[in-house]
Amino acid sequence: MLKREWGEEKARMRECLATYPARLEQSNEMLTKVKIDKENAKAIAGMEELPFNNERIHTDIKRAVANSKNGNSEPIMLGTVAGFEVSVKAKEIGIGGLLDKNHTGIDVRITVKGESAYSFEPGRGENDNNVVRIKNVFLNTIPKREESVTNEVNHLSENIKQAQSQIDVPFEHEDEMTKLEKRFEELNDKLSGIENQEDVFADPEDKELIENAENEIEHEQNNSAIKDEKQALPENDKTVPLKAHEPQQNRGGRKQ
């Protein structure tokens, strides 16, 4: 069991070394972009108003929904804030990605794009404050994304480091395993020899029991044979066996 677990762990390490470096490179690139966005987003904190208000956002959401029903899912640009492009996009969707007249819907997303992109589902009611939601992207979403990507980079780096240090380490119980396997083969060979060996040892009591049993079987067979001979005689056979002391008479009437 330990050897099997060791082998499974080795397989995981090989997979880690084959796939994690590329993932680490992508995560590092993402982290660089998010850090730039986080720095640029600081300018939003002092803004009381954005270049677009809730009324404008709701109008563009309705336009995007109408366009999607006509097969047009191109994003509608709301404006630019501190170098970030803000747009709204609507797309008609259905179950399993297929349009169905009975199961269709409209997916609406607002996207804030800097070095990286951050999207969310806006409120579609007249009283929903989407301006606040957009500000939350700059103040909360981007910092949380930086934290998340940083954790991912650390996790990937640590796994790669451990895999590199452990991939060539042999099974620590290999010598003991070899001895046990050899001993197992020896015992298995002995057990096979015992199963194939003829029983040459006879207990005198067992021999006497066997002889008695054989005599009893032979006696029963003899009795059975005599009984069968008697049953074989015809019922109308009236022949009377001669007695040993009665002489037979010949045709001349003389006794023999």
- C-alpha dihedral sign at 195, 201, 205, 209: positive
Tell me if 123 sits within 8 A of 146, measured CB to CB: no
pLDDT number for residue 242: 47
Please list the pLDDT of the chain residue by residue as tens digits (256 residues).
888 998 898 999 999 999 999 999 999 999 999 999 999 999 887 777 888 899 999 999 999 999 988 889 899 999 999 899 999 999 887 655 555 444 457 889 999 999 999 999 999 888 889 999 999 999 999 999 999 999 999 999 999 999 998 888 888 888 888 899 899 998 988 888 776 655 555 555 555 655 666 666 666 666 666 666 655 555 554 444 544 444 555 555 555 4
Whole-number Å distance between alpha carbons of 109 and 71: 16
pLDDT number for residue 207: 56
Whole-number Å distance between alpha carbons of 208 and 198: 20
Q: How far is CA 200 from CA 8, 163, 206, in A?
A: 50, 60, 13
Q: 34-54 as b/e, with b when 16 or more CB fall inside 10 Å?
A: bbebbebbeebeeeeebebeb
pLDDT number for residue 104: 57
Domain ranges of the chain: 2-165, 200-230
87: exposed, middle or buried (C-beta count within 10 Å: 0-12, 13-18, 19+)?
A: buried
pLDDT number for residue 244: 46
Tell me if 34 sits within 8 A of 142, measured CB to CB: yes
pLDDT number for residue 204: 54
pLDDT number for residue 59: 94
